């Protein structure tokens, strides 16, 4: 399976690329194709150091090319960039491509991390992404509560539950499989895409708990 990562040169993109390259062909996306290719070479070397020979691969291309080629497309981008990025790439995805949004509408204020969708009455991330989808049923919301610092270090084990929202059972199943392939992660289905706001709000909650209680790289685990 070809897994594309828009914003693949960032921390989350790097972590996903390293871990999924064990089984899949990962394509790093960037506005700068050269930067994406250089990052892909770096990630490939790191993955082989961590896991030995990998069954998949890591390559790098411009965002539009990644969107066209991917079976699953991860949007590892900031909330404020949703419209500018998605308007250019989502019309280019194949009809069967599953789009995954881990995007959080969050800002840092004097009181802590806050959800801008509540604070400033702005749309939740999944709604903004959905506006650019050819087939809205192929949108899945996931990966909002995961430690980037742990994700980018493939030698560290994770121990988190990942909330998943989506309307299409097959699309949700594919994303659940990708989650469960990463050792220490467990997929937890919350319901249809309209409930994605619950997952998006969990990130500022988690970060505030981390800061106020001095918890290192926390996650969420349902027991």
Whole-number pLDDT of residue 8? 84
Residues 53-67, mean pLDDT to the nearest whole number: 95
Summarize pLDDT for 149-181 with one digit per residue, the tens: 889 988 888 899 999 999 999 999 999 999 999
Burial of 109-120, coded b for 16+ CB within 10 Å and e otherwise, reads eeeebbbbbeee
DSSP 7: T
pLDDT higher than threshold 90 for residue 26: yes
Residue 172, SS3?
helix
What is the SS3 assignment for 130?
helix
Confirm whether 149 is domain-assigned: yes
Number of domains in the chain: 1
Q: Which domain holds residue 96?
A: 2-213
What value does the CA radius of gyration of the chain take, rounded to a whole number of Å? 16
Pairing outcome for strands 72-75 and 57-62: unpaired
Using pLDDT thresholds of 50, 70 and 90, give the confidence band for residue 9.
confident
In a domain, 221, yes or no: no
Reported as a pLDDT band with limits 50, 70 and 90, residue 193 is very high
> Is residue 80 assigned to a domain?
yes
As beta bridge partners, residue 117 has: none
d(CA 82, CA 207): 22
The pLDDT value given to residue 10: 85
- Phi, psi of 95, rounded to the nearest 5 degrees: -65, -25
Residue 160 inside a domain? The answer is yes
The mean of the pLDDT values for the chain is 94
SS3 of 34, please? Answer: helix
Per-residue pLDDT, 173: 98
Q: Confidence class of residue 53 from pLDDT cuts 50, 70 and 90?
A: confident
The answer to the question of residue 184 being in a domain is yes
pLDDT of residue 156: 83
pLDDT at res. 203: 94
What pTM, to 2 d.p., does this model score? Answer: 0.94
Residue 220 lies in a domain: no
User: Does the pLDDT value for residue 148 go beyond 90?
Assistant: no
CB atoms within 10 A of CB 211: 11
Residue 223 within any structural domain of the chain: no
In a domain, 41, yes or no: yes
Q: What pLDDT score does 192 carry?
A: 98
Report the CATH number at residue 6. 3.40.50.720
Closest residue by Cα to residue 85 from 109, 69, 101: 101
């Amino acid at each position: 399976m070809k897994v594309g990562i828009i914003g693949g040169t960032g921390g989350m993109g790097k972590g996903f690329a390293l871990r999924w390259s064990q089984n899949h062909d990962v394509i790093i996306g960037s506005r700068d194709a050269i930067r994406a290719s250089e990052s892909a070479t770096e990630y490939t070397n790191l993955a082989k150091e961590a896991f030995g020979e990998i069954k998949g691969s890591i390559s790098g291309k411009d965002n539009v090319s990644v969107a066209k080629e991917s079976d699953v497309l991860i949007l590892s981008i900031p909330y404020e960039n949703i419209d500018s990025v998605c308007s250019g790439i989502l019309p280019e995805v194949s009809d069967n491509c599953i789009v995954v949004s881990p995007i959080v509408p969050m800002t840092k204020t004097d009181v802590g991390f806050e959800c801008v969708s509540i604070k400033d009455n702005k749309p939740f991330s999944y709604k903004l992404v959905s506006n650019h989808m050819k087939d809205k049923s192929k949108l899945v919301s996931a990966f909002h509560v995961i430690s980037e610092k742990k994700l980018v270090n493939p030698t560290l084990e994770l121990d988190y539950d990942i909330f998943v929202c989506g309307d299409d059972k097959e699309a949700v199943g594919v994303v659940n499989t990708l989650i469960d392939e990463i050792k220490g992660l467990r997929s937890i289905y919350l319901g249809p895409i309209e409930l994605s706001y619950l997952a998006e709000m969990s990130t500022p909650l988690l970060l505030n708990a981390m800061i106020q209680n001095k918890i290192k790289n926390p996650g969420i685990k349902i027991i």
